[in-house]
Amino acid sequence: MPSGNLNLLSIDIEEWYLSYDSSQITPAKWPLLESRVEQSTRIFLSLLKKHRQKASFFVLGWVAEHHPGLIREIAEAGHEIGYHSNKHELPANQGPEAFEADLLYGLNLLESITGKRPVQYRAPMFSLCHKSAWAIPLLMKHGIEISSSYKAYQHIIGHNIPNTPFWFEHHGKRLLELPLNRLNLPLLNWVYTGSGYFRLLPKSIIRQLFRSSKYNMAYFHPRDFDTQVPSTPLLPAYRNKMNRIGNSTTAGKLEMLLNDMKFHSLGDGAALLNGDQLKVIGI
């Protein structure tokens, strides 16, 4: 780890109704729902521009298909583009063959839009786990250099996922994993660095938690910045409520952090790490 805190900034570019995987609202119904991804993403982009900070944008293939201009806009602003699956299917539900086809489709699509092939990947919902560890060699095979797909303290192949960056190793090749960090307190393993808890927690607590951790993976969704997220009967009532609660506070809280500390895209942050000091987990 570098001296001082390593604060990474990321956002998953998807529509407001994708609160979990695509089984809640199937992709066939997505075109029937209001699209808000462009205006919501631009709130985040404007904050980054104002504070001259960079982030990694993990893009859903479906969004790239329907909003290629937005993806070009992100890339032209100097931010890093990563892949976030095509239709928000969890790798463990896909299996290796479907996952690999999905990965190749998305990498080719994003390259065709931006002119640059992504080397970063994030599984939907940070959902890689012991059941989908087979995905790591496939990511390596297709040129992914950085993954951000695991939550800290999960158990995989005899190891606990660290609360800091680490390497996956397979047949002599390595993939850098930048996991989602969490509180490590009895009965409290909250993810405070983005989305739900970030919207709910007071500014003072968020600032203190970020300052006290040597490594922070800040992550957001466009809907986190949207104060007019629609409701739909296709989602449970509690999910409609959770999609909106605290959204009016997100931009202000993030702006506080952007004023207070330096953030990095995942690629820029990875360049600051001393790789020899990181834990290695063999696959």
Please write the tens of the pLDDT for every residue from 27-75: 999 999 999 999 999 999 999 999 999 999 999 999 999 999 999 999 9
Does the pLDDT of residue 209 top 80, yes or no? yes
Cβ neighbours of residue 157 under 8 Å, at least 6 residues apart? 130, 133, 281, 282, 283
Model confidence, pTM: 0.96
Q: Is 187 helix (H, G, I), strand (E, B) or coil?
A: coil
Q: Which segments within the chain are labelled E, that is strand?
A: 6-13, 56-59, 80-83, 120-121, 146-147, 155-156, 159-160, 166-170, 173-177, 215-220, 279-282
Structure tokens at 210: 């970020």
Identity of the residue numbered 177: E
Any alpha helices (H) in 78-118, and if so which ranges?
Answer: 91-94, 96-114
Of 105, 52, 83, 101, the C-alpha closest to 258 is 52
CATH number of 6-282: 3.20.20.370
Q: How many other C-beta atoms can be found within 10 angstroms of the C-beta atom of residue 69?
A: 9
Please state the separation of Cα 26 from the chain's center in Å: 21
Q: What count of Cα atoms within 13 Å lies in the side-chain half-sphere of residue 82?
A: 25
Pick from 12-21, 256-265, 267-276: least confident? 12-21
Cβ neighbours of residue 172 under 8 Å, at least 6 residues apart? none
Please write the tens of the pLDDT for every residue from 187-207: 677 899 999 899 999 999 999
Q: Is 39 helix (H, G, I), strand (E, B) or coil?
A: helix
In this prediction, residue 3 carries a pLDDT of 53
Domain boundaries, the chain: 6-282
Instruction: Give the separation between CA 191 and CA 64, rounded to whole angstroms.
Output: 28
Q: What count of Cα atoms within 13 Å lies in the side-chain half-sphere of residue 186?
A: 0
Cβ neighbours of residue 139 under 8 Å, at least 6 residues apart? 103, 121, 147, 175
pLDDT band at 147 (very low <50, low <70, confident <90, very high): very high
Pick from 71-75, 79-83, 123-127, 156-160: least confident? 156-160
Instruction: Give the separation between CA 195 and CA 240, rounded to whole angstroms.
Output: 14
In this prediction, residue 1 carries a pLDDT of 59
